[in-house]
């Protein structure tokens, strides 16, 4: 069924690209978590908390994002992408706005972390589902363009936060962002819809995948060594990248001797590398085994951490190179992990299977935030955060070589 389907007044094959633009804007809003390190010094000063305590809202946001994403697919079956993205966007915006009233770190953790993160977790899968339904011929291209908005969000949201924070304070920025996100996410969610069953782009026919003998549901997947190996590697990779995201600004001020304005401005550069990592490692995943991409990724993490642990004083170039690399590798894992999930466990249960594996992102956020904050609290310097991450990267290379392999049990059943 291809005839007479129009989107925004255009033939569906052209109009569907508007959904990609809407999804890109949605992800810019949802990816504002990557600008968190800009707020971190102000949160420590305003609420009189330690570097570890100031990382808790970031850790909770990421953890609830990962947790609620698992359930988002179930809700989407009931609500559809339009209403689920509206609900998720409203919850996220409420979290930001409530954060502006926080009088202590606990209230900030609940509002920004729990509520804001939950909203993102619910809405995050909507643009991806739109890509899968409207772009059966170009699903990866459409999804990666949308998700580049998440990875590169801090180019826009970080710049806006830096411009507003001196005038409005951190709580004022939370309110401004919350109102903006409420309006924008509501507006871009309204047009979202799936095509009618059976629709396909004109002139396109699905490829014959009858020879694909990989088909694991979630219960079968978690019994394989491949699942645990991939999950452990995703945890390590996300720990490294999310630690760098959480401490980017204060680490730049301490280790590279930068003032706040310069350190905050560099977040935009780092965010661009995060988006680039999705593209580069996505392309690499198309051309080579996930194991090789994972090993290359961990080698980059190891090199970046080695740069930062060298005791040779403040060095702006070293800091910029290392943090560009760490943000890039996090984007890389968000390309490697879904590609490996589909390759190892099949596409029939992909959405649920990747939702399970994405729990590793939340675990990595908690570990990364804790490592960054604890290093400053216990040892007086963010430099010490790179020692355990370096060791984890070396371990990751070994785990990737041994465990990121297709499962030994490969099976296919008839329709269930």
User: Under CATH, which number does the domain 213-411 receive?
Assistant: 1.20.1250.20
Parse the chain into domains and list their residue ranges.
11-198, 213-411
Locate tokens 């943090």: which residue? 323
Going by pLDDT thresholds of 50, 70 and 90, the confidence category of residue 179 is: very high
Does 3 have pLDDT greater than 80? Answer: no
Top-ranked range on mean pLDDT: pick from 157-166, 213-222, 235-244, 314-323: 235-244
22-31, 37-46, 71-80, 270-279: which range is least confident on average? 71-80
Going by pLDDT thresholds of 50, 70 and 90, the confidence category of residue 207 is: low
Span 256-265, pLDDT tens digits? 999 999 999 9
Locate tokens 């507003």: which residue? 164
Span 92-134, pLDDT tens digits? 999 999 999 999 999 999 999 999 999 999 999 899 888 888 8
Does 58 have pLDDT greater than 60? Answer: yes
- Per the CB < 8 A criterion, the answer to whether 375 and 384 are in contact is yes
Nearest alpha-carbon partner for 234 in 340, 373, 333: 333
Does 416 have pLDDT greater than 50? Answer: no
- Per the CB < 8 A criterion, the answer to whether 253 and 259 are in contact is yes
Residue 9 is predicted with a pLDDT of 78
2-6, 295-299, 411-415: which range is least confident on average? 411-415
Top-ranked range on mean pLDDT: pick from 5-19, 102-116, 330-344: 102-116
Residue 199 is predicted with a pLDDT of 85
CA 15 to chain centre: 27
The answer for residues whose C-beta is within 8 angstroms of residue 78's C-beta and 6 or more apart is: none
Nearest alpha-carbon partner for 322 in 382, 282, 401: 382
Give the integer Cα–Cα distance in Å for 99 and 178.
9
Give the integer Cα–Cα distance in Å for 384 and 251.
11
Going by pLDDT thresholds of 50, 70 and 90, the confidence category of residue 342 is: confident
- Per the CB < 8 A criterion, the answer to whether 389 and 301 are in contact is yes
Q: How many CB atoms lie within 10 A of CB 223?
A: 11
Tell me the C-alpha to C-alpha distance, in Å, between residue 122 and each of 83, 117, 173, 228, 322: 11, 9, 23, 25, 32
Q: Taking residues 193-209, what's their average pLDDT?
A: 78
- Per the CB < 8 A criterion, the answer to whether 323 and 336 are in contact is no
Give the integer Cα–Cα distance in Å for 217 and 26.
30
Residue of 164 and 2 predicted with greater confidence? 164
Residue 212 is predicted with a pLDDT of 53
Give the integer Cα–Cα distance in Å for 27 and 216.
29
- Per the CB < 8 A criterion, the answer to whether 367 and 62 are in contact is no
Give the integer Cα–Cα distance in Å for 183 and 186.
5
Residue 10 is predicted with a pLDDT of 85
The answer for residues whose C-beta is within 8 angstroms of residue 362's C-beta and 6 or more apart is: 62, 63, 64, 65, 66, 67
Q: How many CB atoms lie within 10 A of CB 105?
A: 19
First to last CA, the chain: 25
Give the integer Cα–Cα distance in Å for 168 and 176.
9
To the nearest whole percent, how much of the chain has pLDDT over 70?
Answer: 95
Locate tokens 């819809």: which residue? 193
- How does strand 10-11 pair with strand 6-7? antiparallel
Give the integer Cα–Cα distance in Å for 92 and 30.
8
Give the integer Cα–Cα distance in Å for 341 and 280.
18
Does 2 have pLDDT greater than 80? Answer: no
Domains 11-198 and 213-411 share a fold: yes
The third-level CATH classification (topology) of the domain covering 11-198 is Growth Hormone; Chain: A; (1.20.1250)
Task: Give start and end residues of each alpha helix (H) in 31-50.
Answer: 36-47
Q: Taking residues 319-328, what's their average pLDDT?
A: 96
Does 349 have pLDDT greater than 90? Answer: no
Residue 213 is predicted with a pLDDT of 62
Does 341 have pLDDT greater than 70? Answer: yes
Span 356-409, pLDDT tens digits? 999 999 999 999 999 999 999 999 999 999 999 999 999 999 999 999 999 875
Give the integer Cα–Cα distance in Å for 103 and 163.
23
Tokens of 386: 């790179």
Q: Taking residues 308-325, what's their average pLDDT?
A: 86
**Angle at the Cα of 399 (from 304 to 143), degrees rounded to 5?**
70
157-161, 322-326, 393-397: which range is least confident on average? 157-161
For residue 131, the SS3 value is helix
Going by pLDDT thresholds of 50, 70 and 90, the confidence category of residue 211 is: very low
Tokens of 125: 């899968």
DSSP secondary structure letters along 47-60: HT--HHHHHHHHHH
DSSP lists the bridge partners of residue 6 as 11
Tokens of 371: 């490592």
71-75, 103-107, 145-149, 167-171: which range is least confident on average? 71-75
Task: Give start and end residues of each alpha helix (H) in 288-315.
Answer: 290-309
Going by pLDDT thresholds of 50, 70 and 90, the confidence category of residue 301 is: very high
Q: What is the mean pLDDT of the chain?
A: 89
């Amino acid at each position: 069924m291809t005839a007479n389907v129009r989107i925004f007044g255009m033939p569906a094959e052209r109009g569907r690209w508007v959904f990609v633009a809407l999804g890109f804007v949605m992800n810019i809003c949802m990816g504002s978590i990557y600008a968190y390190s800009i707020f971190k010094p102000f949160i420590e000063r305003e609420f009189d908390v330690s570097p570890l305590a100031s990382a808790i809202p970031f850790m909770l946001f990421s953890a609830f994002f990962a947790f609620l994403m698992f359930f988002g697919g179930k809700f989407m079956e009931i609500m559809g992408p339009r209403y689920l993205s509206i609900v998720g966007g409203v919850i996220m915006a409420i979290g930001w706005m409530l954060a502006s009233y926080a009088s202590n770190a606990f209230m900030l953790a609940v509002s920004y972390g729990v509520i804001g993160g939950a909203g993102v977790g619910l809405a995050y899968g909507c643009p991806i589902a739109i890509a899968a339904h409207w772009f059966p011929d170009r699903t990866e291209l459409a999804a990666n363009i949308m998700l580049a908005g998440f990875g590169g969000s801090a180019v826009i949201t970080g710049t806006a936060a830096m411009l507003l924070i001196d005038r409005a304070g951190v709580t004022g920025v939370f309110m401004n962002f919350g109102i903006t996100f409420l309006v924008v996410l509501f507006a871009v969610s309204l047009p979202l819809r799936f095509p009618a069953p059976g629709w396909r782009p004109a002139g396109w026919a699905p490829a014959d995948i009858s020879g694909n003998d990989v088909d694991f549901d979630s219960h079968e997947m978690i019994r394989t060594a491949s699942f645990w190996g991939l999950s452990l590697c995703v945890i390590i990779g996300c720990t490294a990248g999310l630690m760098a995201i959480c401490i980017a600004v204060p680490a730049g001020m301490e280790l590279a001797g930068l003032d706040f304005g310069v350190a905050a401005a560099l977040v935009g550069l780092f965010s661009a590398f995060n988006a680039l990592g999705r593209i580069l490692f996505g392309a690499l995943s198309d051309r080579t085994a996930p194991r090789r991409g994972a090993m290359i990724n961990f080698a980059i993490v190891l090199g970046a951490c080695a740069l930062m642990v060298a005791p040779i004083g403040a060095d702006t170039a070293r800091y910029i190179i290392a943090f560009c690399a760490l943000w890039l590798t996090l984007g890389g894992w968000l390309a490697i992990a879904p590609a490996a999930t589909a390759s190892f466990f099949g596409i029939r249960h992909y959405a649920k299977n990747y939702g399970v594996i994405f729990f590793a992102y939340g675990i990595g956020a908690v570990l990364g935030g804790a490592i960054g904050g604890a290093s400053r609290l216990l040892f007086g310097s963010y430099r010490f955060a790179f020692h355990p991450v370096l060791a984890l990267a070396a371990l990751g290379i070994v785990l990737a070589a041994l465990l990121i392999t297709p499962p030994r049990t490969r099976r296919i059943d008839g329709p269930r």
